[in-house]
Amino acid sequence: MPQKAMMLAAGLGTRMRPLTETTPKPLVPVAGKPLIDWGLDALQRAGVAEVVVNVHHLPDLMTAHLGRRTAPRITISDERDMLLDSGGGVVKALPLLGTEPFLVLNADTFWIDRGEPNLGRLALAWDAARMNILMLLADPASATGHTGKVDFTMDGEGRLERAREGEDGFIYAGAFIVHPRLFAGAPAGPHSLNMQFDQAAASGRFFGLPLDGHWITVGTPGAIAPAEAALRRLGAAP
């Protein structure tokens, strides 16, 4: 299991307004638990020692909340001066993440494990000799809150490609293991992780693992009630 992770939590949460006018999106509660804590709790159960969390919108509220956690250990990557998007946020945090493969999680998506914990499954499937990214994927049939198209298709060996119009495939579940070599030469300014996803795919080193469980994304205020209903149905509400 990687001992470090990056939690992407700096976004403005514009689709979650008006809630995000006074509350950072990662702190919006779902079933009584802030969104970000669903992911941080999963990292804690998996034995990840340190998580780097980037902050930008209402950063004092974020740092105060995160400062109350004892595990995993939280390090703040401060983006108050400039929002760097997902890829730029990781690049800025690289000095804190080290030279070994690490996890990246979105702060506004999470899942409920069905059997073996999915972060453990991801770590067991990771092969640095063949992979630059190993991404956790959700089946649309086992997802709550997703309204868009699928993101990727997977071949028989687990390699991923962008899904084309009308193709069946998987949703990016907001979690992956990545080798830091993938960011060599990456721009320091704002850019999306789509740059790294496409780079890994072009080199044949972009792999996926289907999630065993139920995936939940909360993008708007209207998505909170369905998420909470799914958690009750799964017996996972606190």
pLDDT band at 147 (very low <50, low <70, confident <90, very high): confident
DSSP string, 90-144: HHHHHHHH-SS-EEEEETTEEEEESSS-HHHHHHHH--TTT-SEEEEEE-GGGEE
Q: What is the CATH number of the domain that holds 216?
A: 3.90.550.10
Q: Calculate the average pLDDT of the chain.
A: 94
Does residue 26 have a cis bond before it (omega within 30 degrees)?
no
Which secondary structure element, helix H or strand E, spans residue 197, and what is its range? helix 194-202
Give residue 28's pLDDT. 92
* Mean pLDDT to the nearest integer, 92-103: 96
pLDDT digits (tens, 9 = 90+) for 66-89: 999 999 999 999 999 888 999 999
Residue at 238 is within a domain: no
Residue at 65 is within a domain: yes
Instruction: Return d(Cα 224, Cα 34) in angstroms, integer.
Output: 11
pLDDT band at 167 (very low <50, low <70, confident <90, very high): confident
pTM summary value:
0.94
Residue 172 has a CB neighbour count (10 Å cut-off) of 23
pLDDT digits (tens, 9 = 90+) for 14-43: 887 987 889 899 999 999 999 999 999 999
Residue at 170 is within a domain: yes
pLDDT band at 236 (very low <50, low <70, confident <90, very high): confident
Q: Is the pLDDT of residue 194 over 80?
A: yes
Instruction: Return d(Cα 3, Cα 49) in angstroms, integer.
Output: 5
Count of domains observed in the chain: 1
Residue at 212 is within a domain: yes
Dihedral sign for Cα 189, 192, 197, 203, please.
Answer: negative
Residue at 220 is within a domain: yes
Which residues constitute the domain of residue 214?
Answer: 4-233
